[in-house]
Amino acid sequence: MANVISFLTRTRGIGKLHWTDWLTYGYLFLGVLLMFLPVIWLGLSSFKTEAELERFPPRIIPMQQETIIVEGYDEPLPLYEIVSGEFEGETLAQIRRVGLVAQMIRPDNPDERLKVDINDRQAIEKFALATENYSELFDRFNFFKFFWNSVFITSVATMIMLTVNSMAAFALSKYQFTGRMVVLGLVIGTLMIPQTVVLVPLFLITKELNMADSLWGVIIPGAATPTGVFLLRQYMLTIPDEILDAARMDKASEWKIFWRIIVPLSAPAIAVLAILAIMWRWNDFLWPLIVLSSNDNFTLQLALNSFQGEMNTQWSNLLAMTMLVLLPIACVFVFLQKYIATGIASTGGK
């Protein structure tokens, strides 16, 4: 503890914190609150029962009313403590409520029905996580299907993109051939045309290729990103040509050179691109929204969005699902934060 305090109160110079240091840490503290609290609040809320979620003002910690199983009743009965009136100090279970009067019983004596004014009783509550919010997603909402669609699209699209992009980057960085500048120009040109402005024709091409409303329609059109080619090419340019010449002396085929030499040597850049690609695909929303129309093909993002639009969706399930969509990315972030940061900073895209 003393270590923690001395760590936290250490300053850059000797002596007291300068007022600008106070300002700095105040700003950072506010930043942490503003960035983290919303997500923590989402996490806490996702473990609350629907009744608890409707409570106003809300409580921080998820609580549930204690219940008891009494002979002769199918459902567990909610427990109340009686704070005033005839039965003060007793713990009673409620059968039903009629207007301002509650019909209650003593759990050890289920036959005698007592009438209690509802203002005299107070619910007994305990800390409890409503894990059914999550389990219901799997039973009632076909969550696995959406999850599988997202995983399939993300992994296949990433693999195709890495292969195709690294092959092109290899050609553009290690060969001299006529038309090289033209191809490079085309790549830069496509950088200028984001997907958002060619939505209409892109969709029609996808439809003509019979890929509308199929997972492949999401995977294939996004595979040839100019960003990926660029990133990999810049990296491959730094690999010395002598290595390639040495391999050619040993009669290695060009494919072997690519696969056995270039790809392993550019592993860092490929890893960065892989992380970016996974993130792009996992979070992708607009293009799947246009291509996929049947419920069975929805990705997690689409399912989440369509759930929130449905009138009969309960916040409890919606919040739980939001958490499950958020978690994989959060895990990736915790472990690969540094790579993601450098990757995004060096491509200027996300």
Q: Which residues, numbered 171-200, are part of the site for another protein (CB under 8 A)?
A: 171-172, 175-177, 180, 183, 186-194, 196-200
- Is residue 58 at the binding interface for another protein, with CB under 8 A as the rule? yes
Give the whole-angstrom CA distance, residue 250 versus residue 342.
Answer: 37
Site stretch for another protein (CB under 8 A), options 70-78, 91-99, 239-247, 268-276: 268-276
CB 70 within 8 A of CB 107: yes
Applying the rule CB under 8 A, the residues between 13 and 32 that interact with another protein are 24-25, 27-28, 31-32
Residue type, 328: P
Binding of another protein by 290 (CB under 8 A): yes
Residue with tokens 């369509």: 306
Decide whether 132 or 254 has the Cβ nearer to another protein: 254
Among residue numbers 79 through 108, which ones bind another protein (CB under 8 A)? none
Which region among 76-84, 114-122, 140-148, 322-330 touches another protein (by CB under 8 A)? Answer: 322-330
Residues with Cβ within 8 Å of 138's Cβ and at least 6 positions away in sequence, in order, are 144
Closest distance between another protein and the C-beta of residue 113, in Å?
Answer: 35
Q: Which 201-240 positions form the footprint of another protein (CB under 8 A)?
A: 201-205, 207, 209, 220-224, 226, 229
User: With respect to another protein, which residue has the nearer C-beta, 215 or 304?
Assistant: 304
DSSP state of 17: P
- Paired residues of 81 in beta bridges: 91, 122
257 secondary structure, DSSP code: I
DSSP state, residue 117: E
Binding window for another protein (CB under 8 A); candidates: 82-90, 107-115, 132-140, 332-340: 332-340
Please report whether residue 330 would count as binding another protein according to CB under 8 A. yes
Q: Which of 16, 113, 115, 350 binds another protein (CB under 8 A)?
A: 350
Is 322 near another protein (CB under 8 A)?
Answer: yes
According to CB under 8 A, which one of 2, 14, 34, 181 is a site residue for another protein?
34
Find the binding residues for another protein in span 152-171 (CB under 8 A). 159, 162-165, 167-168, 170-171
Residue 272 C-beta: closest distance to another protein, Å: 11
Q: What are the DSSP E strand ranges found in the chain?
A: 63-65, 67-68, 77-82, 91-98, 101-106, 109-117, 121-123, 125-127
Shortest Cβ 173–another protein spacing (Å): 10
Burial of 55 (0-12, 13-18, 19+ CB in 10 A): exposed
All residues at 6 or more sequence positions from 344 whose CB lies less than 8 Å from its CB, including other chains: 276, 350
Task: Give the Cα separation of 68 and 70 in Å (integer).
Answer: 6
- Cβ 9 to another protein shortest distance, Å: 10
CA distances from residue 293 to 59, 254, 290, 296, 335 in whole angstroms, order as listed: 39, 43, 7, 9, 35
List binders of another protein among 241-260 (CB under 8 A): 253-255, 258-259
Residues 6+ positions from 203 with CB-CB distance below 8 Å: 212, 290, 291
Cβ proximity to another protein: between 27 and 73 the closer is 27
How many chain residues touch another protein (CB under 8 A)?
A: 105
- Residue of 77, 157, 218, 304 interacting with another protein (CB under 8 A): 304
